[in-house]
Amino acid sequence: METILQYIPAVLSAILLAVLILMVITNIIVEVVKKLTWDKVPTNLLAFIVAMAVTLLAFFAVCRILAVPIVWYMVAAAIGLGFFVAFAAMFGWDKFRQMLEQITRLENRKE
């Protein structure tokens, strides 16, 4: 049990880093595709589809590179991670920008 607990911080760090990288890739792809589709597809739906595709492609690529056998629960976990990536891609940037605007307004009030 002690050895499993020792790996939790490293695994969580790797998962958060993967979500960050996948979110950035998803945002870039969505912005490019959004310009090409001329707003025919809702942006949130597009972000969800792209996030799932990018996450699953990354999952299968990592499993292939590391020669890890793919099991059903690993695919289910990758789909779950895809939901997190989609959520971060859809709402994370907007919330971050909103936070920066609030900080800027607070600094302007102080001056």
Banded pLDDT at 14 (limits 50, 70, 90): confident
Q: Residue 61 pLDDT more than 90?
A: yes
| SS3 state at 96 | helix
Identify the band that residue 111 occupies on the pLDDT scale cut at 50, 70 and 90. Answer: low
Structure tokens at 53: 């595709």
Q: In b/e form, how buried is each residue of 27-48, taking b as 16+ CB within 10 angstroms? A: bebbeeebeeeeeeeeeeebbb
Per-residue pLDDT of 77-107, as tens digits, reads 999 999 989 888 888 767 777 777 887 777 6
Rg (CA), the chain: 18
Say how far apart CA 55 and CA 82 lie, in whole Å: 5
